[in-house]
Structure 1
Amino acid sequence: MDRAAALLALIVESGERTFTSLVDEVGLAKSTTSRLLHALERNRLVRRDRAGLFRPGPLFAVYAAQHDTTQDLLELAQPVLDELSEHTGETVNLAVPRGAEVVQVAQVDSAYLLGATNWLDVSVPPHCSALGKVFYAYRALPMPDGDLPESPVGRTPTIRQLKDDLAEVSRRGWALTWEELEEGLVAVAAPVHTRDDSVVAAVSVSGPTTRISKADAARIGSRLVDSTRSLSVRLGYRPRRATQK
């Protein structure tokens, strides 16, 4: 069972695997690997396509259709949220896009009294939120038509200013809001990708400007990108390799 589970994990996490790569990575004899794969295939846990590649089987599609995948995302993301909380000491949130809104589904509270706000179920204009900017930049949320909703602190950008900001988000891989939702509040967020490169969630770190400087925000942004990339890989995402010039 352990050997079959190891093969299945490799196939599910990678999305597709060749028979040779499975033999090499698991270190089993070809005959043993073939026998285990046939057993997994008979039970609909893996399937073999026309090119001979092994992929997750139809049983996973049945599970996905009957199950709220948000709970799976929460379980996979929790170690990432905890690690970021321990590293920064600030509030860490996980959010998903729903229609035209940002829905925060998990939070690890700040270690400090100042900044320990519960953001779950709090609705804010996406353009004032680092999480919302991530979803706009990666087209997980539709861009609003016409003027943007008024910012709570009266610093509402134009659509052109927002688009310029989103271009910067796409370039560096993380979003920043600096006193755009609340005086003295800064937030940084980065996207979570799935196998097809779509963004299904975002993770943010937020805290007061008294503890997070612009330089701190940039360092947190880089840390977030690394953390969310590792979570994305667990969801089947394959980061694109930088093109060599």
Structure 2
Amino acid sequence: MASDPRASRSPRGAQVIDRAAQVLSCVLGADDPISFTAVVEQTGLSRSTASRLLQALEHNALLDRDADGKYRGGAMFTQFAARFDREESLSAVAGSTLQRLSEETGEASHLAVPSGGKVVQVAQVDSTYLLGSGNWVDIEVPPHCSALGKVLYAYDAIPLPTGRLERRASRTLTSRSALLADLETIREAGFAVAHDELEDGLDALASPVFGPGGTIIAAVGISGPTLRLEPDHARLGALLVREAETLSRSLQRQAPPLSLEH
């Protein structure tokens, strides 16, 4: 009688899964993002095996790498954790995005979410310049003069304001009609600009982040002195669109069955 070919494959398959679980436990159990060398040392696996497993786990959104190439939990864990702590999980998965934006522009980068009809900034990476914008985490500002807020308006994440809008700086949009026209421009371009609108001498740009189902869940942006940002709005806006799209795909990705090679 012919033997079941699955029987000969099962021990090896179980061994691969065990090793993948070992690597995953090592990374998730670390207090901070962990290097490839540390994974090899702590698991006792060969460098080639550890490399293949790490690549497969990253490909399937179970692990992610930060700007230093170190490993941490990926978007799949973030999606699961979002059921319990949305802001913390979003901040974790967006960390590498914010770091890249700050490194590439030198400016402060931000993550904001809609909450109760307001804009809540939940994470920031500071500017590398001596002259930069301050820390905006947990500071409430009127959405109509914030690039992050205007993005959330444009994609219906928060309700539009009614009546006359508060003037905060020389270029603040103070009428609903002016705001609506700006929101249309934002939807066409994929990013928002706040140019001397919250405070004179301060510029900001932001782009939307979409979660599963294509629903906007956050906005990412940068801010800094008008003198540095104004001449470069187009390039910075395109950069934000690319980074926001990459982050959105990470959040939306549905992992295929785990495929690991020994």
Fold shared by both chains (TM-score > 0.5): yes
Taking the TM superposition and a 5 Å limit, the aligned residue runs for 1:198-213 are: 198-213=215-230
- Of 246, 249, 256 in structure 2, the residue corresponding to residue 230 of structure 1 is 246
Going from structure 1 to structure 2, the CA distance change for 1:8 and 1:83 (only over 3 Å counts) comes to closer
Going from structure 1 to structure 2, the CA distance change for 1:198 and 1:204 (only over 3 Å counts) comes to same
Q: Which has more helix, going by share of residues?
A: 2
TM-score of the superposition, structure 1-length normalised?
0.70
CA RMSD, 1 decimal: 2.5
Taking the TM superposition and a 5 Å limit, the aligned residue runs for 1:126-165 are: 126-148=143-165, 150-153=166-169, 155-165=172-182
Provide Cα deviations, 1:69-108, integer angstroms capped at 9, x if missing partner: 2222111100010011000000111110111211100111
1:176 aligns with 193
Query: In terms of Rg, which structure is larger?
Result: 2
Could you tell me which runs of 5 or more consecutive residues in structure 2 were left unpaired when the two chains were aligned. 1-16, 25-55, 64-75, 255-262
The whole-number CA distance in structure 2 between the counterparts of 1:203 and 1:114 is: 21
2:73 aligns with none
1:52 aligns with none
Secondary structure of 1:72's aligned partner: helix
2:116 aligns with 99
Going from structure 1 to structure 2, the CA distance change for 1:112 and 1:3 (only over 3 Å counts) comes to closer
Secondary structure of 1:103's aligned partner: strand
> How many pairs were matched up?
189
Going from structure 1 to structure 2, the CA distance change for 1:79 and 1:135 (only over 3 Å counts) comes to same
The whole-number CA distance in structure 2 between the counterparts of 1:212 and 1:74 is: 25
Going from structure 1 to structure 2, the CA distance change for 1:156 and 1:226 (only over 3 Å counts) comes to closer
- Of 204, 212, 215 in structure 2, the residue corresponding to residue 187 of structure 1 is 204
CA contact (8 A) 2:195 2:230 kept: no
TM-score of the superposition, structure 2-length normalised?
0.66
Could you tell me which runs of 5 or more consecutive residues in structure 1 were left unpaired when the two chains were aligned. 14-55, 239-245
Going from structure 1 to structure 2, the CA distance change for 1:114 and 1:12 (only over 3 Å counts) comes to closer
Taking the TM superposition and a 5 Å limit, the aligned residue runs for 1:33-52 are: none
CA contact (8 A) 2:133 2:223 kept: no
